[in-house]
Structure 1
Amino acid sequence: MASQALLTSEQPLELQRDVQRKLGRCLLRLQQYEILLKALIAHSEISGPAEALQSIRDAQVASAHKKTLGTLVGMLTERHLTLPDATEDEESSVQNTENIWCSFRFQLQLDEQQHQTTIAALKELVDLRNELVHHFLSRFNIWEQQACTDANAYLDASYETIDGHYLTLRSWAQAMEEARTQLSAFMRTSAFEDLLVNGIAPDCTVDWPASGAVRCLHEAESHLTASEGWTHLNTAIAWIQSNHAEQRPARYGCGSWRHVIHESQQFEVRKATNAENGRGEVWYRSKTA
């Protein structure tokens, strides 16, 4: 069996120092990747009542800090890399409806081939990290010249792989930050206020159950004396004008409060004749489930 050429004190140890330098470079890049991945996982999803968002965020950051690269990659692939036809489970209904509930999730949609390729590549990255951290010296005897030559070639290829993953992850993180910036800018507009408070989307469609107009009609019901659950519409309109003057049918693309009731489909309507003046009246009440 041919003997291996050993590095000796008389020979330059440049090959071994190159191995050490390149191994360190790979491990540093892996740590940069892991730090960035922890930040992406911690900040790419949040859900909860508005007043608790900061504490929820702090808990997520602390939790991500403790996780291994393998666990983080698993969270990334399961929660944030999706297929075009993937369906997302909705949050369970919020129990305390008086609080504002916020939810944000950043996801990347990949086609089936991209999804499979990306998941396989991420698994290989985790395996590569484990190989470098736990098995490198058992694979390469860096006191042998040929082993150093082989190790240098292996580390060059490894760094190229790690750096490619880092650059890809950085582009994902930048895309997430741009989305967060755009969302933050939108939240400072009157369009967002209309969406949040009045249920009016930027394309002018109305989420009637969540709309300010329907909310006011419900509120008027609770404040006014009703007959068998029916509320006199004109009396309700007067109450709304007095207590919520900013709420007008035109805001929702309607010509009257009767039109609002019709479009919202949230109320029953009854017509009656006033016994005293013989005029027609409109009464309404909330539909029951």
Structure 2
Amino acid sequence: MKNEEFVDDVLRRVGRNVVLFQQLEQLLKFIVANGKLAGFASELKTLKEAQESKVNKQTMGTLVGQYVENSNPESDKQSTEPEEIDEIYFSFSFRIECDDDYYKSKNEALAQLVTERNDLIHHLLPRFDMKSPQNCKSLSQELDEQSDKIRLEINHLKATTKSLIDGRKILATYFQSEEARKDLELSFLKQSPLILMLGDIATQISREDGWALISSAGQLIKEHAPEEFAQMKKKHGYSSLKKLIQASDIFDIYEEVTPKGGTRILYKLKAGC
């Protein structure tokens, strides 16, 4: 084989590995950009676009750090949900659950590939002796071994990407369902000022057996939150506290016979609420 052929062989392998590194980087960008999103419904599109723009400008080293940290068993998983919510708040997070050994090995493998990628792009030429067949052979073997390592991580990232896409499809299907609509309505109802007040009242004026009179609760709400009470039908679609309490699914209701033969309606928080 002529010396030029040895050189061309190395250059083909260099080009192949550069393309493989780019493929690896694109997969990392997709996972990092789409693996976590949180915000109010009205700002989700803007947040997503800003997140994608930011990720597209990041280096491979930064991408690897963010990707690996998302599988860190010791990372903080605290919720970013705001204290006050006055519209639909969406939060999606995709994590790779693993043990400490896997996390460390994956961190080391990807960090090594970042070093090798930088070396390939910026430092290969000084050690590439195009006049030496032996140097060309050595570099070709090194590039083949590097190719195998990149492909291994690409296959892993492809599987991770598929899981992420499948998860988003499941979530999208759920949000388009009647079940999701009912769940959202119930969630808003449970966080409404009226329901929160009813919960407080139930614990403050309850009898020894835990039950509280709905009529007494109504009187207190009319006194301390007249506007909320007046807008109950408009905001929630229920014309009485009894119907509102039943719809919230966090209270038990009980009709009790009075000593004079009448009835009174009582309620209390369900166990665990």
Short-chain TM bin:
0.7 to 0.9
How is 1:182-261 mapped onto 2 (pairs within 5 angstroms)? Answer: 182-199=170-187, 209-210=190-191, 214=195, 228-229=223-224, 241-242=238-239, 249=246, 252=249, 256=253
CA–CA separation in structure 2 for the residues paired with 1:244 and 1:183:
34
Classify the secondary structure of the residue corresponding to 2:55: helix
Q: Deviations over 1:105-131 (max 9, x none)?
A: 111011111111111111111011011
What is the match of residue 62 of structure 2?
71
**Structure 2 unaligned residues grouped into runs of 5+:** 200-213, 268-273
Question: Does the 8 A contact of 1:82 with 1:107 survive in 2?
Answer: no
Q: Which amino acid aligns with 2:67?
A: L
What is the match of residue 58 of structure 1?
49
How is 1:67-106 mapped onto 2 (pairs within 5 angstroms)? Answer: 67-78=58-69, 80-83=70-73, 87-91=76-80, 93-95=82-84, 97-106=85-94
What is the match of residue 287 of structure 1?
none
Classify the secondary structure of the residue corresponding to 2:107: helix
Richer in helix (by share): 2
Displacement of 1:103: 0.8
What is the match of residue 4 of structure 1?
none
**Structure 1 unaligned residues grouped into runs of 5+:** 1-6, 200-206, 260-272, 285-289
Number of residues of Structure 1 aligned to a counterpart in Structure 2: 247
Q: Normalized against structure 1, the TM-score is what? A: 0.70
CA–CA separation in structure 1 for the residues paired with 2:266 and 2:242:
21
CA–CA separation in structure 1 for the residues paired with 2:233 and 2:60:
62
CA–CA separation in structure 1 for the residues paired with 2:94 and 2:118:
28
Quickly say closer, same or farther: Cα 1:102–1:237, change in 2 above 3 A: closer
CA–CA separation in structure 2 for the residues paired with 1:227 and 1:35:
59
Q: Deviations over 1:60-115 (max 9, x none)?
A: 1110111100011111122x2132x65412215244x2121111111101111111
Q: Does 1:181 align with 2:169?
A: yes
Q: Normalized against structure 2, the TM-score is what? A: 0.74
Q: Which amino acid aligns with 1:167?
A: N
Q: Does 1:44 align with 2:35?
A: yes
What is the match of residue 136 of structure 1?
124
CA–CA separation in structure 2 for the residues paired with 1:278 and 1:45:
59
Q: CA RMSD in A?
A: 4.3
What is the match of residue 152 of structure 2?
164
Q: In percent, how many aligned pairs have the same letter?
A: 25
What is the match of residue 135 of structure 2?
147
Equivalent residue for 2:5, pick from 14, 31, 41: 14
Quickly say closer, same or farther: Cα 1:110–1:35, change in 2 above 3 A: same
Question: Does the 8 A contact of 1:230 with 1:283 survive in 2?
Answer: no
Q: Which amino acid aligns with 1:88?
A: K
